[in-house]
Amino acid sequence: MRVLLTGAAGFIGSHIRRTLENFGHEVIAVDLMLAAAHGPDAPTPAGIDRLDVRDPAALDSHLRGVDVVCHQAAVVGAGVSAQDAPAYASHNDFGTAVLLAAMDRAGCRRLVLASSMVVYGEGRYRTADAELFVPPPRAIDDLERGEFDHRDPGSGDPLEWLPVGENTPLRPRSLYAASKVAQEHYAAAWATATDSTVTALRYHNVYGPDMPRDTPYSGVAAIFRSALEAGAAPRVFEDGKQVRDFVHVHDIAAANLAAVETPLGGFVALNVASGQPITIGEVAQVLAAAHHGSAPVVTGQYRPGDVRHIVASPDRARLLLDFTAAITPEQGLAEFAVSPLRAVASAGAPTW
């Protein structure tokens, strides 16, 4: 198939490009080469056209004969400042809207969209009585006292976390998360209006070779890895017991290949995850041991707005795409501890 891949020079996009080409697909690779992802003055890699998805004319010329669009281009990260909001809205949401309109003009009816687990906000919880419970955001006073868990309002015990399924209500807790929810909503409305199909892949914590070095916008695995490379101990926030799902970038690429090759009807959201929960403290420990570096330091620090636990159910992706992650967090993180990182650190969110 002929695939338009946006964000093709990025960490995830570059892995997807290689996988699609290795399986015989013709890839039209484009990327804006934002400094936020590639560093200032980064050259455009060979075989990639520099393109802004907010440019309708440029999209029209690249969508001719395209069977499916694999849309990875986005400004990423939890949002370091409220001043990042225009960048998220411009690149992620307006850019997606322009792309969808261009796909309609080109008669391209299939989209694979890079979404994120951040659309859920907090994970799912239940009380000691097995009742589902939606906790409010954690209070600053509790965090200051080192009380990080959500509590059962009846017993006062920590709530039990549950895997998050795709039907879980979307409750974004960051500017980036709000932009990803908006992307999904635009794509779902477009699918209905044009009788098209959208597979929205909700990535969980992605890591792997060629990940950008330590920046305020990096994932925690890269931040830990960068600390170890600098001879420092990884600094773990809260008590290190926050539970997440870490999925290797090779599995992310495999999920995108499956989505490109498997048309699904209408708008379908799928978690892309390892299915093997791990705590942030364990992530730091695996990386430190494999890197032969300093043991992690649990700091008790926190970031207001961070969620406590968020773990995916991968069942729907297995059922609909026949996709199951092949790399366990323990195996993948141990390899990542000595894998190459991107040589050029990113420069923060764009101003617009």
Which range of residues forms the domain containing residue 7?
A: 2-124+162-337
- Asked if the structure places residue 137 within a domain, the reply is no
Q: Angle at Cα 243 formed by Cα 308 and Cα 310, nearest 5°?
A: 60
Question: Mind listing the pLDDT tens digit for each residue in 39-81?
Answer: 788 899 999 999 999 999 999 999 999 999 999 999 987 656 7
pTM attached to this predicted model: 0.95
- Asked if the structure places residue 317 within a domain, the reply is yes
- Asked if the structure places residue 343 within a domain, the reply is no
Which residue is associated with the tokens 């599995």? Answer: 251
- Asked if the structure places residue 349 within a domain, the reply is no
Q: How far apart are CA 115 and CA 96, in angstroms?
A: 12
Give the pLDDT score at 109.
98
Return phi, psi of residue 113, to 5°: -110, 130
pLDDT-above-90 percentage for the chain: 86
Residue 3 bridge partners (DSSP): 27, 68
Q: What is the DSSP string of 192-207?
A: HHHT-EEEEEEE-EEE
Q: How far apart are CA 340 and CA 6, in angstroms?
A: 23
Contact 201, 115 (CB under 8 A): yes
Measure CA of the first residue to CA of the last residue in the chain; give whole Å: 34
Residue 244: C-alpha distances to residues 35, 98, 160, 218, 223 (Å): 28, 33, 14, 16, 16
DSSP β-ladder status, 124-126 and 132-133: antiparallel
Contact 88, 54 (CB under 8 A): no
Average pLDDT, the chain: 94
Question: Mind listing the pLDDT tens digit for each residue in 198-250?
Answer: 999 999 999 999 998 766 556 899 999 999 999 999 999 999 999 999 999 99
- Asked if the structure places residue 136 within a domain, the reply is no
Question: Mind listing the pLDDT tens digit for each residue in 141-164?
Answer: 999 999 999 999 999 999 999 999
Q: Angle at Cα 299 formed by Cα 295 and Cα 300, nearest 5°?
A: 140
Q: How far apart are CA 276 and CA 335, in angstroms?
A: 17
Residue 105, Cβ density class (10 Å: 0-12 exposed, 13-18 middle, ≥19 buried): exposed
Q: How far apart are CA 37 and CA 170, in angstroms?
A: 26
- Residue 101's CATH number: 3.40.50.720
Give the model's confidence band at 166: pLDDT under 50 very low, under 70 low, under 90 confident, else very high. Answer: very high
- Asked whether the predicted pLDDT for residue 131 surpasses 60, the reply is yes
Give the pLDDT score at 253.
98
- Asked if the structure places residue 348 within a domain, the reply is no
Question: Mind listing the pLDDT tens digit for each residue in 267-326?
Answer: 999 999 999 999 999 999 999 999 999 999 999 999 888 899 999 999 999 999 999 999
- Structurally, the chain folds into a number of domains equal to 1
In what order do the strands lie in the sheet containing 124-126?
132-133, 124-126, 160-162
Overall size of the chain counted in residues = 352
- Asked if the structure places residue 156 within a domain, the reply is no
Give the pLDDT score at 342.
82
- Asked if the structure places residue 138 within a domain, the reply is no
